[in-house]
Amino acid sequence: MIYRDLCGEKVSLLGFGAMRLPVKDGEVDYNETEKMLDCAIAAGVNYIDTAWPYHSGDSERVVSRILAKYPRESYFLADKYPGHQTADSYDPAGLFEEQLKKCNVDYFDFYLLHNVNENSIGVYKDPKWGIIDYFIEQKKAGRIRHLGFSTHGGVKMIKEFLDEYGEYMEFCQIQFNYLDDTLQNAGEKYELLTERAIPVIVMEPVRGGKLASLDEGIENKLREMRTGTSTASWAFRWLQSYSNISVILSGMSNMEQLCDNLATFDKEEVLTEEERAYLADVAEGMKDSLPCTGCAYCVDGCPIGLDIPNLISIYNELRFQSNIVSAMRLEGADEATLPSACISCGACSSICPQKIDIPAAMSDLANRISKMPKWADVCRERAALQK
């Protein structure tokens, strides 16, 4: 097992993500999960990541029940505060106490503000809820050993959050893989965090399985370049060359995926420049995105003041994969900042060096968002399931 440093702790580079546990008859398959977690721990995995909403609340329960047989100091348990979930009120103290009880622990090794993004940042910062202050206090009290945050937000939002709270944030979890390197500007987020000396935990390294199964021709070429390796291993090895990454979380759903990952993380085998270049081509081929470079030339001329590059980045994500996480960045935002506010004046397109038809993109984005389920409804459904 490869180990790296995270906030002074020796953590396994492969983290056990408990968001996609094996399921049987609609429920987490406890026996299969136990076999997998035992096998992972025996192979040296010591970082286990769960969260309040995973498996409608069962992930915390199942994982901690399995971990109970291990000495508390032999593993690192990460959990999260769900401030990104829309609610009428927020009670960080009540929820945190419940999480400790549910997980049967006195402290969490790593604790994250879950998905700080353009939509949820207001909740996290609101003095009425006192969320960040509360968790800073819990850290002082030793009930959280290391405090950090996860995010699907844009680079600008992350920068603003770090400007205000960076001194309290010891680590950050982002979605990073060879496709999102450019599609979600994940490379830029990684660079920003590295500049600020904040270690990175990676989520979605194979983009929910998308990078574990590619076109036949590509898979044949990968096998030719490295015999005996799986398609998924390429995504993990691509990440291994980033020295500021401390943990790569994999949400494994069966033993086969776990065994494949354990083989990949047995020893460091980063990709060559030639191999990275090939994956960059593969990623380009998978995207059908508008060629926005983020130059922002269009922004000043927009009479509505829309953040066009940010909207186009969300549009590109949605075109690639209809994804509520992308769309939720816009939920609750002021109507005047939404793509539906575009009046199709065309001032932006005439200035865009990439000749993008921005009014058409705004119209299509507004249309796609109007058809997506509301994040607040998703939260309500999940909350009902947890009762």
Based on the shown chain and the rule CB under 6 A, indicate whether residue 379 belongs to the binding site for ligand SF4: no
Which two structure tokens, joined as six digits, stand for 340? 């539906």
Q: Using CB under 6 A, which of 95, 304, 372, 376 touches ligand SF4? A: 304
Q: Using CB under 6 A, which of 272, 293, 367, 370 touches ligand SF4? A: 293
Q: Using CB under 6 A, which of 21, 292, 328, 365 touches ligand SF4? A: 292
Based on the shown chain and the rule CB under 6 A, indicate whether residue 360 belongs to the binding site for ligand SF4: no
Based on the shown chain and the rule CB under 6 A, indicate whether residue 343 belongs to the binding site for ligand SF4: yes
Cβ-in-10-Å burial (0-12, 13-18, 19+) of 211 comes to: buried
The stretch near ligand SF4 (CB under 6 A) out of 26-34, 131-139, 183-191, 308-316 is 308-316
Q: Please identify which residue in the block is written with the tokens 């086969």.
A: 256
Based on the shown chain and the rule CB under 6 A, indicate whether residue 211 belongs to the binding site for ligand SF4: no
CB 353 to ligand SF4: min, Å: 6
Based on the shown chain and the rule CB under 6 A, indicate whether residue 172 belongs to the binding site for ligand SF4: no
- The total of other beta-carbon atoms located within 10 Å of residue 42's CB is 9
Query: Which residue, 268 or 284, has its beta carbon nearer to ligand SF4?
Result: 284
Question: Do residues 145 and 107 lie in contact, with contact meaning Cβ atoms separated by under 8 Å?
Answer: yes
Query: Which residue, 92 or 309, has its beta carbon nearer to ligand SF4?
Result: 309
Pattern 309-328, ligand SF4, x by CB under 6 A: x--x----------------
Rg (CA), the chain: 21
Q: Using CB under 6 A, which of 68, 270, 277, 296 touches ligand SF4? A: 296
Q: Using CB under 6 A, which of 255, 277, 333, 345 touches ligand SF4? A: 345
Based on the shown chain and the rule CB under 6 A, indicate whether residue 40 belongs to the binding site for ligand SF4: no
Q: At what angle do helices 231-240 and 273-286 cross, to 10 degrees?
A: 120
Residues 6+ away with beta carbon under 8 Å from 50: 18, 19, 59, 60, 63, 64, 77, 78, 79, 80, 103
- Tell me the HSE value of 95 on the side-chain side, using a 13 A CA sphere: 23
Based on the shown chain and the rule CB under 6 A, indicate whether residue 302 belongs to the binding site for ligand SF4: yes
Which two structure tokens, joined as six digits, stand for 223? 């096998």
Based on the shown chain and the rule CB under 6 A, indicate whether residue 297 belongs to the binding site for ligand SF4: yes
CB 348 to ligand SF4: min, Å: 3
The stretch near ligand SF4 (CB under 6 A) out of 101-109, 111-119, 131-139, 298-306 is 298-306
Which two structure tokens, joined as six digits, stand for 37? 């977690």
CB 76 to ligand SF4: min, Å: 41
C-alpha closest to that of 176 among 151, 213, 149, 148: 151
Round to whole Å and give the CA distance between 195 and 348.
33
Query: Which residue, 113 or 348, has its beta carbon nearer to ligand SF4?
Result: 348
The stretch near ligand SF4 (CB under 6 A) out of 26-34, 265-273, 341-349, 377-385 is 341-349
The answer for 136, left when phi > 0, alpha when psi is -120 to 50, beta otherwise, is alpha
Based on the shown chain and the rule CB under 6 A, indicate whether residue 358 belongs to the binding site for ligand SF4: yes
Query: Which residue, 325 or 347, has its beta carbon nearer to ligand SF4?
Result: 347
Going from the C-alpha of 82 to that of each of 146, 229, 259, 288, 387, the distances in angstroms are 17, 37, 31, 33, 16
Going from the C-alpha of 259 to that of each of 50, 72, 99, 265, the distances in angstroms are 20, 25, 30, 10
Q: Using CB under 6 A, which of 354, 364, 374, 383 touches ligand SF4? A: 354
Query: Which residue, 244 or 354, has its beta carbon nearer to ligand SF4?
Result: 354
Question: Do residues 92 and 135 lie in contact, with contact meaning Cβ atoms separated by under 8 Å?
Answer: yes
The residues of the shown chain that bind ligand SF4, judged by CB under 6 A, are: 292-298, 301-304, 306, 308-309, 312, 342-348, 352, 354, 356, 358-359, 362
